[in-house]
Homo-oligomer: A and B are copies of this chain.
Amino acid sequence: MRWMPLLALCALSLFTAARAEDGYDLWLRYQPLEKQVIARYGAVGTSVVTGGHSATSNVTRDELVRALSGLLARKVTADDTIRRDGTVLFGTPANSPTIASLKLPLEKLGREGYVIRNAAAKGRKIIVIAGNTDIGAMYGAFRFLRQIQARRPLDKLDIVSAPKVKLRLLNHWDNLDETVERGYAGSSIFNWWELPDHVSQRLTDYARANASIGINGTVLTNVNASALILTPDYLRKAAAIADALRPYGIKVYLTARFSSPIEIGGLKTADPLDPAVQAWWRNKADEIYNLIPDFGGFLVKANSEGQPGPQDYHRSHADGANMLADALAPHGGVVMWRAFVYSNEVPEDRVKQAYSEFVPLDGKFRDNVIIQTKNGPLDFQPREPFSPLFGATPRTNMGMEVEITKEYLGFETHLVYLGTMWQEALQSDTFVKGQGSTVAKVVDGSLFGNKLTLMAGVSNIGADRNWCGSIFDQANWYAFGRLAWNPDANAEDIAGDWVRMTFSDNPAFVKPVVAMMMASRETEVDFMTPLGLAHQMGTSGHYGPGPWIDNVGRADWDPVYYNRADKDGIGFDRTPTGSDAVAQYAPPLAKTFSDVATTPENLLLWFHHVPWTYPMKSGRTLWDALVSRYTQGEASVHAMAATWARLKPYVDARRFAITADFLRIQERDARLWRDASIAYFQSLNGLPLPAGMAPPAHPLDYYESLYFPYAPGQGSPNRPIRPPQKAPDAIPPLH
């Protein structure tokens, strides 16, 4: 195809261009740069040279050739030696004498770091991309391409980078029947039926995208796990995926259902202290590594929301995790043990439980175990304080799990950039070793000297052509990778890179879009759960407002449990007069959060139950401030939609349209959230709205009657289908 006559190629492009912008290419579009940028780059990228011959070298070379050909709109060739100015040389000191001779500062960069420099070799000006391994060089190549995609100078390159976090993993909540729990982008990309006999091209493109942002592992299966994945035929399927991902430095991990020895092993127990159980897992690990020599390890959700676990046998989480860790240790595998556990009995405060469960176990886990803790103590809410587990277990490896898929943030149809949310969590100061003891330093291991470190992101990826269900949700996948590589990276810089790579370098576009993204999470908080509220979503689907819900079946799944609103006030008292969850934070923070006056207002109702008349810093009452927040949130969505409409000239029609449509949905939903929340709280407190604020469009019972059947991605085979009750419409129509 590459050698077709020029005319034919051009004609072809007339057609393919017409459907090119479907989002499949993500931030790796490699469209031609502006003429003046290409001119400025001069001879750079004329040819690509490597001394490597590994699968990784090959895919790196192919990526550079493909990318540079596209970006620079010229024929770029792979060459076997340096012949021209502008050659891009990549490799390692071991496979390239030229790289070895350059004495690059590679010592401290480990196996994944890289150096990018201008250099002279064989009488030519070249660009050298070097790592200690082919994987490092590959990461360098993607970093170099980002430099070009963002139109940055290439004449004074001196980039040195290595990841601060060892395991940078996607967690797929993908089921073996190809549904995706909390997925909003179609079915799973893992076609278990066709695997291992056919491996889709999509898996290679998935690997490319992940490699480009430094993701080095992927958990293929849902934490609500099926034991079937550990049967021989499914392991062969997983091995075929591992083979496809391996050249890109991505290891495969699986979720281990704790009761597997019973369900597929024929044992009577899964007790982690039972020798037969231990032997079963050792044999299973041997079997897995025989098929997948570089298998990463297990992710486990145990004794949480009905999943089996060691507590079924009166053993501790450490007993369970260590048993699996011992089975994996001979092969170099790890266990990621989720801290997201809460009792089947409803306790006084659900957010305290992970801490209560794991802090006493500090120091009892094997070296190849890492506890995987959600960023906040509850469950991926639009805003939570950071989880107090970060910093509380100095002798335990502690990784962070964030949710890339927007389970609680409007699914694929709301525009919410999560980089700011994760940055907020990572830059939170735990104070456990004095000021500056940020969560990021726990996660990157520097605070306590952990070697095994982890950032895990619950994937938002599905078989939709655009991968994520929306174009802007691609930014969250992208930002996750960048922050996992460097938890101290800046969310705004990341957004800027993503916009330039995905859309355009035009400042008239980049500036307003980045501004929109940067404000988007706060906007979502404002119209959903302002001032520290949480878990106010409709139950099960987690879409749409439900602050009145009080009948889910257990108290701590009910929104009323979290808002505690009544005639007099609102909020959850977590001070010593209440649940005392504040005591789980280091003393300086516990003090700050215990005092309603020093608690940040954006977390006010998380920590305090306060009267509706409580005076805010602005001088307004809490009620007035709350209504203003909701109203502000809605207004901000309208502003986003207006901004996007104005940017139409800078975007292709397809990606403009899907984003515009989704922003209209978000406008409707923001209004719905605002009105429903105000209607409910007003029904309790009977207070008038602040002057100038519009009343809800409908009475409360209208909002209470709305339902959202078939909300996608719930992943349950038995989704509740409620027939329409009072309201004629499931969702208010836009038109």
User: Which residues of A come within 8 Å of B, CB atoms?
Assistant: 1-2, 4-20, 22, 24, 30-32, 35, 66, 69-70, 72-74, 176-179, 184, 186-187, 192-194, 196-199, 201-202, 226, 228, 231-234, 236, 263-264, 411-413, 463-465, 652, 654, 658, 661-662, 664-665, 668, 709-712, 717-719, 721, 723-724, 728-731, 733-735
CB of A280, distance to nearest CB on chain B (Å): 15
Do A662 and B198 have beta carbons less than 8 Å apart?
yes
Do A11 and B178 have beta carbons less than 8 Å apart?
no
Do A69 and B186 have beta carbons less than 8 Å apart?
no
Q: Once bound together, how far apart are the Cα atoms of A296 and B248, in whole Å?
A: 51
Q: Once bound together, how far apart are the Cα atoms of A729 and B236, in whole Å?
A: 10
CB of A728, distance to nearest CB on chain B (Å): 6
Do B20 and A176 have beta carbons less than 8 Å apart?
no
Please name the 5 residue pairs, one residue from A and one from B, whose CB atoms are nearest each other, closest first: A11-B73, A13-B13, A198-B661, A717-B717, A15-B70
- A734-B16 contact given A178-B712, A723-B264, A724-B231, CB 8 Å threshold: no
Do A731 and B233 have beta carbons less than 8 Å apart?
yes
Do A14 and B31 have beta carbons less than 8 Å apart?
no
Do B70 and A12 have beta carbons less than 8 Å apart?
yes
Chain B residues with CB under 8 Å of A464's CB are 463
Do B413 and A194 have beta carbons less than 8 Å apart?
yes
Do B66 and A176 have beta carbons less than 8 Å apart?
no
Do B17 and A16 have beta carbons less than 8 Å apart?
yes
How many protomers of this protein does the assembly include? 2
Do B228 and A66 have beta carbons less than 8 Å apart?
no
Further contacts, 4 of them, CB under 8 A, given A11-B70, A12-B20, A228-B710: A1-B17, A10-B10, A179-B179, A194-B412
Chain B residues with CB under 8 Å of A711's CB are 193
CB of A540, distance to nearest CB on chain B (Å): 14
A197's partner among B184, B186, B233, B665 (CB-CB below 8 A) is B665
Do B16 and A32 have beta carbons less than 8 Å apart?
no
Chain B residues with CB under 8 Å of A18's CB are 1-2, 66
Do B13 and A9 have beta carbons less than 8 Å apart?
yes
Do A729 and B233 have beta carbons less than 8 Å apart?
yes
Q: Once bound together, how far apart are the Cα atoms of A353 and B650, in whole Å?
A: 63
Do A232 and B193 have beta carbons less than 8 Å apart?
no
CB of A31, distance to nearest CB on chain B (Å): 6
CB of A339, distance to nearest CB on chain B (Å): 29
Q: Once bound together, how far apart are the Cα atoms of A717 and B720, in whole Å?
A: 12
A70's partner among B14, B35, B730 (CB-CB below 8 A) is B14
Do A723 and B10 have beta carbons less than 8 Å apart?
no
Do A15 and B413 have beta carbons less than 8 Å apart?
no
Q: Once bound together, how far apart are the Cα atoms of A201 and B466, in whole Å?
A: 12
CB of A466, distance to nearest CB on chain B (Å): 10
Chain B residues with CB under 8 Å of A72's CB are 11
Chain B residues with CB under 8 Å of A5's CB are 35
- A231-B2 contact given A12-B70, A14-B69, A17-B9, CB 8 Å threshold: no
**26 A-B pairs with C-beta separation under 8 A:** A1-B652, A2-B17, A9-B10, A9-B17, A10-B13, A11-B69, A15-B69, A19-B201, A177-B712, A178-B186, A178-B712, A184-B193, A186-B186, A187-B187, A192-B710, A193-B710, A193-B712, A194-B412, A194-B665, A197-B665, A197-B734, A226-B721, A233-B729, A465-B465, A717-B717, A717-B719
Do B1 and A201 have beta carbons less than 8 Å apart?
no
Q: Once bound together, how far apart are the Cα atoms of A192 and B719, in whole Å?
A: 15
Chain B residues with CB under 8 Å of A719's CB are 177, 717
Do B187 and A228 have beta carbons less than 8 Å apart?
no
Q: Once bound together, how far apart are the Cα atoms of A711 and B176, in whole Å?
A: 10
CB of A395, distance to nearest CB on chain B (Å): 40
Chain B residues with CB under 8 Å of A196's CB are 733-735
A233's partner among B263, B721, B730, B735 (CB-CB below 8 A) is B730
A11's partner among B74, B187, B197, B729 (CB-CB below 8 A) is B74
Q: Once bound together, how far apart are the Cα atoms of A1 and B12, in whole Å?
A: 13
Do A16 and B14 have beta carbons less than 8 Å apart?
no
A201's partner among B10, B11, B177, B654 (CB-CB below 8 A) is B654
CB of A80, distance to nearest CB on chain B (Å): 22
Q: Once bound together, how far apart are the Cα atoms of A5 and B36, in whole Å?
A: 13
Chain B residues with CB under 8 Å of A17's CB are 1-2, 4, 9, 12-13, 16
Chain B residues with CB under 8 Å of A9's CB are 10, 13-14, 17
Q: Once bound together, how far apart are the Cα atoms of A729 and B731, in whole Å?
A: 47
Q: Once bound together, how far apart are the Cα atoms of A72 and B12, in whole Å?
A: 10
Q: Once bound together, how far apart are the Cα atoms of A7 and B10, in whole Å?
A: 9
Q: Once bound together, how far apart are the Cα atoms of A465 and B462, in whole Å?
A: 12
Chain B residues with CB under 8 Å of A465's CB are 202, 465
Do A15 and B66 have beta carbons less than 8 Å apart?
yes
Chain B residues with CB under 8 Å of A712's CB are 177-178, 193
